[in-house]
Structure 1
Amino acid sequence: MQLQDYLATAERGEMARLAKFVKVAQPIVSFWVNGKRQVPAERCPEIERFTKGKVTCEELRPDVNWAVLRNSGK
Protein backbone atom coordinates (compact mmCIF):
# COMPACT_ATOMS: atom_id res chain seq x y z
CA MET A 1 0.00 0.00 0.00
CA GLN A 2 1.25 3.46 -0.78
CA LEU A 3 1.63 5.95 2.08
CA GLN A 4 -0.85 8.26 0.37
CA ASP A 5 -3.48 5.48 0.26
CA TYR A 6 -2.84 4.53 3.87
CA LEU A 7 -3.36 8.08 5.09
CA ALA A 8 -6.42 8.60 2.85
CA THR A 9 -8.18 5.67 4.52
CA ALA A 10 -6.88 6.29 8.05
CA GLU A 11 -8.54 8.15 10.88
CA ARG A 12 -8.44 11.91 10.95
CA GLY A 13 -5.17 13.14 12.46
CA GLU A 14 -3.15 10.11 11.37
CA MET A 15 -0.68 12.25 9.41
CA ALA A 16 0.04 14.28 12.53
CA ARG A 17 0.49 11.09 14.57
CA LEU A 18 2.86 9.70 11.96
CA ALA A 19 4.88 12.92 11.93
CA LYS A 20 5.19 12.79 15.70
CA PHE A 21 6.14 9.10 15.62
CA VAL A 22 8.98 9.65 13.13
CA LYS A 23 9.94 12.97 14.74
CA VAL A 24 9.46 15.27 11.75
CA ALA A 25 7.19 18.24 11.12
CA GLN A 26 3.80 17.42 9.63
CA PRO A 27 4.52 19.36 6.40
CA ILE A 28 7.45 16.99 5.76
CA VAL A 29 5.06 14.01 5.82
CA SER A 30 2.78 15.94 3.48
CA PHE A 31 5.71 16.43 1.08
CA TRP A 32 6.37 12.66 1.17
CA VAL A 33 2.72 11.88 0.50
CA ASN A 34 2.46 14.36 -2.39
CA GLY A 35 5.74 13.26 -3.97
CA LYS A 36 7.45 16.60 -3.41
CA ARG A 37 10.18 14.87 -1.40
CA GLN A 38 11.37 11.31 -1.24
CA VAL A 39 11.02 9.51 2.08
CA PRO A 40 14.53 9.20 3.53
CA ALA A 41 15.55 5.54 3.68
CA GLU A 42 16.26 5.79 7.42
CA ARG A 43 12.60 6.77 8.03
CA CYS A 44 11.13 3.81 6.13
CA PRO A 45 11.43 1.22 8.93
CA GLU A 46 9.75 3.67 11.33
CA ILE A 47 6.88 4.21 8.90
CA GLU A 48 6.53 0.47 8.36
CA ARG A 49 6.29 -0.02 12.14
CA PHE A 50 3.80 2.83 12.53
CA THR A 51 1.53 1.42 9.81
CA LYS A 52 1.89 -2.11 11.24
CA GLY A 53 3.32 -3.31 7.94
CA LYS A 54 0.58 -1.90 5.72
CA VAL A 55 3.13 0.41 4.10
CA THR A 56 6.43 -1.39 3.59
CA CYS A 57 9.93 -0.08 3.12
CA GLU A 58 9.92 -1.66 -0.33
CA GLU A 59 6.87 0.40 -1.32
CA LEU A 60 8.29 3.61 0.11
CA ARG A 61 11.75 3.25 -1.46
CA PRO A 62 11.91 0.57 -4.15
CA ASP A 63 15.40 1.82 -5.07
CA VAL A 64 16.88 0.48 -1.81
CA ASN A 65 17.83 -3.19 -1.48
CA TRP A 66 15.79 -3.88 1.65
CA ALA A 67 16.44 -7.63 1.47
CA VAL A 68 20.09 -7.03 2.32
CA LEU A 69 19.20 -4.74 5.20
CA ARG A 70 16.47 -7.04 6.55
CA ASN A 71 18.85 -10.01 6.54
CA SER A 72 21.80 -8.15 8.06
CA GLY A 73 20.52 -8.66 11.60
CA LYS A 74 20.65 -12.46 11.35
Structure 2
Amino acid sequence: METTRSEELRRAIEDAGGAVAVATLLDVSRHAIYDYIRRGRVPAEHCPTIERHCSGRVRCEVLNPSVDWNYLREHSAHAEPAAA
Protein backbone atom coordinates (compact mmCIF):
# COMPACT_ATOMS: atom_id res chain seq x y z
CA MET A 1 0.00 0.00 0.00
CA GLU A 2 1.43 3.36 -1.03
CA THR A 3 1.64 6.08 1.61
CA THR A 4 0.03 9.41 0.95
CA ARG A 5 1.97 12.66 1.07
CA SER A 6 0.17 13.63 4.30
CA GLU A 7 1.05 10.31 5.97
CA GLU A 8 4.68 10.73 4.99
CA LEU A 9 4.72 14.27 6.34
CA ARG A 10 2.99 13.19 9.56
CA ARG A 11 5.73 10.58 10.12
CA ALA A 12 8.41 13.17 9.37
CA ILE A 13 6.97 15.59 11.94
CA GLU A 14 6.73 12.81 14.52
CA ASP A 15 10.37 11.94 13.83
CA ALA A 16 11.28 15.59 14.38
CA GLY A 17 9.67 15.50 17.84
CA GLY A 18 5.95 15.79 17.15
CA ALA A 19 3.60 18.60 16.20
CA VAL A 20 3.94 20.55 19.43
CA ALA A 21 7.75 20.38 19.42
CA VAL A 22 7.93 21.41 15.76
CA ALA A 23 5.45 24.24 16.34
CA THR A 24 7.58 25.51 19.23
CA LEU A 25 10.74 25.20 17.15
CA LEU A 26 9.21 27.19 14.28
CA ASP A 27 7.35 29.64 16.52
CA VAL A 28 4.01 28.79 14.92
CA SER A 29 0.81 27.32 16.37
CA ARG A 30 0.33 23.59 16.48
CA HIS A 31 -2.71 24.21 14.27
CA ALA A 32 -0.32 25.49 11.60
CA ILE A 33 1.56 22.18 11.81
CA TYR A 34 -1.68 20.25 11.31
CA ASP A 35 -2.44 22.51 8.34
CA TYR A 36 0.97 21.67 6.85
CA ILE A 37 0.13 17.98 7.22
CA ARG A 38 -3.29 18.47 5.64
CA ARG A 39 -1.76 20.35 2.69
CA GLY A 40 1.05 17.80 2.38
CA ARG A 41 3.98 20.21 2.70
CA VAL A 42 5.79 22.51 5.09
CA PRO A 43 6.52 26.07 3.91
CA ALA A 44 9.98 26.11 2.35
CA GLU A 45 11.37 28.64 4.83
CA HIS A 46 10.80 26.19 7.71
CA CYS A 47 12.24 23.06 6.09
CA PRO A 48 15.96 23.70 6.78
CA THR A 49 15.22 24.38 10.47
CA ILE A 50 13.39 21.07 10.87
CA GLU A 51 16.12 19.21 8.96
CA ARG A 52 18.84 20.68 11.20
CA HIS A 53 16.81 20.05 14.36
CA CYS A 54 16.57 16.33 13.68
CA SER A 55 20.13 15.93 12.39
CA GLY A 56 19.03 15.28 8.82
CA ARG A 57 16.74 12.33 9.60
CA VAL A 58 13.92 14.34 8.02
CA ARG A 59 15.06 15.93 4.79
CA CYS A 60 13.70 19.08 3.21
CA GLU A 61 12.79 16.98 0.17
CA VAL A 62 10.19 15.14 2.28
CA LEU A 63 8.88 18.27 3.96
CA ASN A 64 8.37 20.22 0.73
CA PRO A 65 9.01 18.38 -2.54
CA SER A 66 8.08 21.39 -4.69
CA VAL A 67 11.48 23.05 -4.06
CA ASP A 68 14.65 21.98 -5.91
CA TRP A 69 16.61 21.32 -2.70
CA ASN A 70 19.52 19.72 -4.58
CA TYR A 71 20.05 22.96 -6.48
CA LEU A 72 19.95 25.01 -3.29
CA ARG A 73 22.29 22.63 -1.46
CA GLU A 74 24.75 22.64 -4.34
CA HIS A 75 24.79 26.42 -4.65
CA SER A 76 25.04 27.06 -0.92
CA ALA A 77 28.02 24.71 -0.74
CA HIS A 78 29.79 26.77 -3.43
CA ALA A 79 28.85 30.17 -1.99
CA GLU A 80 31.70 32.45 -1.02
CA PRO A 81 31.87 33.27 2.69
CA ALA A 82 30.83 36.84 3.48
CA ALA A 83 33.65 39.28 4.07
CA ALA A 84 34.10 40.21 7.71
TM-score, normalisation: structure 1? 0.73
Seq. identity, %: 33
What does 1:32-47 correspond to in 2, within 5 Å? 32-33=36-37, 35-36=38-39, 38-47=41-50
**Does residue 1:22 correspond to 2:8, yes or no?**
no
Alignment root-mean-square deviation, CA? 2.1
- Is the contact made by 2:47 and 2:63 (CA closer than 8 Å) also made in structure 1? yes
Indicate the residue corresponding to 1:4 in structure 2.
10
Structure 2, unaligned stretches of length 5 or more?
1-7, 79-84
- Is the contact made by 2:19 and 2:33 (CA closer than 8 Å) also made in structure 1? yes
Structure 1, unaligned stretches of length 5 or more?
none
| TM superposition outliers: structure 1 runs of 4+ over 3 Å | none
TM-score, normalisation: structure 2? 0.66
User: May I ask how many residue pairs the two structures share in their alignment?
Assistant: 69
Query: Which is greater in Rg?
Result: 2
